[in-house]
Structure 1
Amino acid sequence: MSQTHDKHHFYKYMSVETALKVIANQSLRWSSPLKFNDPFDHQIGFTFEFGGQEIGQAVYHEMERIVFGGKSEFQEPSLFTEVALRLQGIADRLPKDAIMEDFAEAAQEIADNFPYHVARLHDEIQEQLTHSRVLCISERNDNVVMWSHYAEEHRGVVLKLRCIDKLDNTLLAARRVDYSRQFPKFPSLGQYVRHLTGEKPLNLAALTWDMAFTKHSDWAYEKEWRVHMPLLNEPPGDGYTLINEHPSVFGAVYLGCRMTDEDRGRILEAVEKHIPHAQAFQAKRSDASFDIAFEEV
């Protein structure tokens, strides 16, 4: 697996009980997007800057141009391509008005069915994206809000996870999450028409994939990265999958500033037993600002 970024490590927030399992087994829990706390995550669609009538008219004029306007090249053969090429060859002998009337009917059918096709596209996108497992990680280990949300209100743990090229570990494939207040925009009207005609097909798979890494801008404080793993033909299961990592991936353990002495002892004992190479740090509240600092244990 080739590294897709220049990061050396990431961080994972978790509870004490989860941390004990992770440390003991050196495995990380990948989750189904349906388990996420954000109802939009992996469950959004495109915004279109055109409607059914616009796409119908655009296809109508493009069909006229292709058949009666000269040679066109098609990158992806289709039924449309076969019809267009056949009509091109006899265009000078065709009654144009009758052909354009047929084109108008076809274009109107496209316009009428456009809302249905958009709804179906979005259903397929969400079904595909949510049939997956995702490992969510962060650039930061000192975010006060994330300690509250994901690490038992500062009683839990943050693990430092190393990206190690020679191990070919999964973190090498992590991708940064993009934050926005709007859903992703679908390509332009002209691009979509050339996709439908086969002249210049769109990479809809890549556009769909981008949605797995797009969240509302309110989440930007998390500075999240992700590794996304489609399940392909596997059943969804219970929504979680444990994937083992090499022990050296676990580089450090950070203990919450409100962690109990008992839990602190349990975590440090587990570190010493299972990942003794890992450093351990105790979180402390700053005396001068709303920040967290760490002291090595």
Structure 2
Amino acid sequence: MQLPSVFYKYTPSSTACLVLESSRLRWSSPLLFNDISEFQRMPQFYPSVADSYKDLPKAIVDAAYDGKDINEENLVPQVRLLLNLVKKIASDGSKKREDLLEELTGELVSADKNIELALQDYVKNLGLNAARVLCVTSEYDNQAMWGNYAENHTGCVMGFRHIVERSTPLIAATQVSYSAERPVVGSGLDFLLFGNTSELRKRTLHAIFYTKDKSWEYEREWRVITWRRNEAEKQVGDYLFYPEELESVTIGARATSVTEERVRQLISEKYTRASLYRMELHGGKLERKLLICAG
């Protein structure tokens, strides 16, 4: 997926001035986020592992009796062993297909809950207090974001460009996806057949770190995640960014003249590649007016 050319950070006016003065952005642990379910929403299989456990014998018997492709090379050892045994039974005709299916069919009632609990333990053991997340968005004119994160339109939105030559963090930004239900990472049958593959682990971690409930969809969020074990006690980190990363500062429609003057001064002193804008309300719609064009 192509990255937006500019990412935006909504802030109160006091925070914006601190960021501009220090050239540092705050990255926080998800434990401090206003969404209490951050990194706690475990993905699921569909169909579930419990439901798929009933289909596992049929997949094995079909492969043994009918030669249906089952990608034997990638089967987990236990299933491969069982398949070879069923193949032997099929070849010598010692047992009817229907009888074998009945004997192999069983239940794993609590399998999915156990997997969910295991994932929760895994995430807990990662140490979320050491995680550092930078949350940004792709929009500068989102009224809900202005109201919720920029002090009711009195704050600012800072735009940041990513610079490939300098390997700036936003090059690694990943888009957050939103769903009403827990994200699905695969089918339960595939998990039973092939186990915890590298691709499944990748999808699972993405689901935990980069999906949120649909109620947060208005944020249009992208995020960058890193881990700072030596800073776990603080749960936050203020990290330097290059002055040329700052693409723009947009002042809210209700921002004071004091805020505007201070931001003007800081941009002229430190951020010559950044433009200054102000939001204005026209006919009930927010529009952005250019105040200073980047030099």
Which bracket does the TM-score occupy, shorter chain normalised?
0.7 to 0.9
TM-score by length of 2: 0.78
Residue 143 (1) aligns with residue 142 (2): yes
* CA gap 1:72/1:165 in 2 versus in 1, 3 angstroms: closer
Residues 5 and 174, structure 1, Cα contact 8 Å, conserved in 2: no
* CA gap 1:186/1:281 in 2 versus in 1, 3 angstroms: closer
Q: Tell me, what secondary structure is at the counterpart of 1:203? A: helix
Residue 31 (1) aligns with residue 28 (2): yes
**Shift, 1:53, TM fit:** 4.8
Which residue of structure 2 lines up, in the alignment, with residue 167 of structure 1?
166
Equivalent positions of 1:72-151 (< 5 A) are 74-76=72-74, 79-80=77-78, 83-84=81-82, 87=85, 107-108=106-107, 111-124=108-121, 126-127=123-124, 128=126, 130=128, 132-151=131-150
Residues 243 and 271, structure 2, Cα contact 8 Å, conserved in 1: yes
Q: Tell me, what secondary structure is at the counterpart of 1:145? A: helix
Which of 243, 248, 252 lines up with 2:248 in the alignment?
A: 252
Residues 249 and 275, structure 2, Cα contact 8 Å, conserved in 1: yes
Which residue of structure 1 lines up, in the alignment, with residue 234 of structure 2?
238
Which residue of structure 2 lines up, in the alignment, with residue 296 of structure 1?
291
Residue 11 (1) aligns with residue 12 (2): no
Which of 49, 53, 56 lines up with 2:53 in the alignment?
A: 56
* CA gap 1:169/1:201 in 2 versus in 1, 3 angstroms: closer
Structure 2 letter corresponding to 1:247: P
**Shift, 1:162, TM fit:** 0.9
Which residue of structure 1 lines up, in the alignment, with residue 217 of structure 2?
220
Residues 49 and 188, structure 2, Cα contact 8 Å, conserved in 1: no
Percent same amino acid among aligned pairs? 22
**Shift, 1:114, TM fit:** 0.8
* CA gap 1:239/1:94 in 2 versus in 1, 3 angstroms: farther
Q: In the aligned structure 2, how far is the partner of 1:42 from the partner of 1:129? A: 11
Over aligned residue pairs, what C-alpha RMSD do you find?
3.5
1:8-51 residue CA offsets vs partner (Å, 9 max, x unmatched) = 11111112222122212222211222222122333212244445
Q: Tell me, what secondary structure is at the counterpart of 1:276? A: coil
Q: Tell me, what secondary structure is at the counterpart of 1:212? A: helix
Q: In the aligned structure 2, how far is the partner of 1:27 from the partner of 1:53? A: 49
Q: In the aligned structure 1, how far is the partner of 2:104 from the partner of 2:230? A: 43
**Shift, 1:102, TM fit:** 8.6
Q: Tell me, what secondary structure is at the counterpart of 1:140? A: coil
Q: In the aligned structure 1, how far is the partner of 2:73 from the partner of 2:231? A: 35
* CA gap 1:201/1:63 in 2 versus in 1, 3 angstroms: farther
Q: In the aligned structure 2, how far is the partner of 1:201 from the partner of 1:63? A: 23
**Shift, 1:100, TM fit:** 8.4
* CA gap 1:156/1:84 in 2 versus in 1, 3 angstroms: same
Which residue of structure 1 lines up, in the alignment, with residue 41 of structure 2?
44
1:123-146 residue CA offsets vs partner (Å, 9 max, x unmatched) = 146435946222111111122221
Structure 1 stretches of 4+ moved >6 Å: 66-72, 92-102
Which residue of structure 1 lines up, in the alignment, with residue 202 of structure 2?
205
Q: In the aligned structure 1, how far is the partner of 2:50 from the partner of 2:2? A: 43
Q: Tell me, what secondary structure is at the counterpart of 1:37? A: coil
| Gap regions ≥5 residues in structure 1 | none
Q: In the aligned structure 2, how far is the partner of 1:241 from the partner of 1:254? A: 24
Which of 261, 268, 273 lines up with 2:257 in the alignment?
A: 261
| Gap regions ≥5 residues in structure 2 | none
Q: In the aligned structure 2, how far is the partner of 1:52 from the partner of 1:258? A: 53
Equivalent residue pairs, number: 286
Q: In the aligned structure 2, how far is the partner of 1:86 from the partner of 1:194? A: 14
Which residue of structure 1 lines up, in the alignment, with residue 268 of structure 2?
272
